[in-house]
Structure 1
Amino acid sequence: MERTVSAADAMVTAPGTGTPLLDGMPRQRTAPLPVAPTPPRIPAYAPAARPGARALGLLPTPADTPFTLGYAAVLVVTSLFARYADPSLVHSLYQESSTDVVHLVRSPVLVLVASALWIAGGLTSSYALVFLLVLPALERRIGGRRTAFVFLLGHVLATLATEIPVGLAVLAGHLPGSSLHRLDYGISFGVAAGLGALAGLLPPWPRRAVLTVFGGILLADLIQFTDPLSNWGHLLSLAIGIGTWPWVRRWQRTARQGARAHG
């Protein structure tokens, strides 16, 4: 007895899909299996930084500017002492700390260090403000030891470059012997060198603006001829800072690479 096969029974379906295929036809394409959509990745919630937090992040901290804050603390102490101590004692200390020719010949290292412990004009001096703006920014970019090196480089070289000609002029008879005891102390040479170095790490337009404004102020002081040796020293120390651009740029790259490696 023959079994009658209906068209529905003879229908062949695609494996795993149930899709009917035509019997007796060549192999036909089948629709791919449906794939469940991948749920979108939801990023972790990161709250936006508050404006106050961003502003606080610009302030120097002991972690990122130890040299600047430590040095600033010393300068605050010496400035308060100079303001409230006996004037005759303060003047005597200024004289002993002066980087004049006589002291440079007797004890050059001691007097070069001691002269950098005072701020000429005290805490209200313009160089005190520049110190607080420039040195933290430079230290964050190249580190504390390198910032100290730039500061001392400007302080020492500009001092020697202005005082050695005085000694030679006295020996030649062009200046009186009293010029050997000239009162000279303060942080201005080191600060000017730091500003010159920092300018090399800025974008072109801010760099030009900083150098134009600060250089113009120094030139105006020199034209007034009130203190030509100090005025020349400030220009020299600014030029010394500019001369460190290859170093500070390389140091900044090194510091960034180190930060990425530890991050």
Structure 2
Amino acid sequence: MSLSYAYLLTQMVIFIPAIESWLRADPHEVLIVTTIEWYERIKASLETVDDPRVIVHAIEVKSKRPGLIAGIQRTTTDHVVLLDDDSIWSLATLQGLLCGLSAGPRVAGVSNIKVNIRMTLPALAPDAPSMFEAMGAGRHDRRAATNTAMAYFCDSQITCYTSETTAYRTEALQRPGFVEHVVEDYWKGKCKLSSGDDGAITRLYQNGRKTGIVVHDECAIEPKSKENTDYLKQILQWSRSEVRQLVRDPYLLLPSHRRH
């Protein structure tokens, strides 16, 4: 299994525990794609990890979508997991994703649910969730509820993959036309999109292929939010992407989308 990381955006203090959780799943390799500006800092931080399976690659473009493409093009295994640097895995996360992909060759990708920190910490506890963590948990709740309901009624189809952790068949991402579909994505044919990569990939595989979601708690991930106002800007950006997805693909809400 090859894990592809797209672009470092958050603090190193979050990144190192995340990558250690990925390595505990015993992957074939971890491909970290970042910018030239961040390259030396990431290499230095990885000295504490000291694992030959971790490979760092730098690109010139400061955008997530080209970073994902760079990681996908360097993948040599049958499956690849695209994930964010703040996604901390459970011990059974990778096993659950692979079980989802084993459902059949038509399954192009499988996402999983996130641990909601509001369910594990009392509201008035000394270490209760911060405002940023609570807002992030609320967003994860909505995404999980939407995807789970969609999967139940529409033969495991989901409305949108999650960029935090999703496993794919490599051949599905290396097929002709994939790069153009993801990188050359425009809103109303004018504005080139940099976010919403998860929605772009989902649109490509909702026709002819199957999507899926793993809902077992033991396979969940624990995403960590940034403790600053930049995280609020990210939530706004993600919300805009979700609205664009529904506007571009209104048939997602129709019963005719059900597969038999």
Task: With the length of structure 1 as denominator, give the TM-score of the two structures.
Answer: 0.28
Task: With the length of structure 2 as denominator, give the TM-score of the two structures.
Answer: 0.28
Higher relative contact order (Cα pairs below 8 Å, separated by 6+ residues): 2
More helix by share: 1
